[in-house]
Amino acid sequence: MRKIKEALRLCWDLRLPARQAARSIGVAASTLSDLLYRAKAAGLTWPLAVVYRVTATV
Write out pLDDT tens, residues 2-32.
888 999 999 999 999 999 999 999 999 999 9
Domain count of the fold of the chain: 1
How open is the CA angle 46-49-40, to the nearest 5 degrees?
45
The predicted model gives 29-41 an average pLDDT of 94
CATH of the domain at 49: 1.10.10
pTM listed for this prediction: 0.74
Q: What is the pLDDT of residue 11?
A: 93
Find the domain containing 13 and state its range: 1-58
First to last CA, the chain: 34
pLDDT at 53 over 70: no
Residues 6+ apart with CB under 8 A from 32: 7, 11, 18, 21, 22, 25
Identify whether the C-beta of residue 16 lies closer than 8 Å to the C-beta of residue 10. Answer: yes
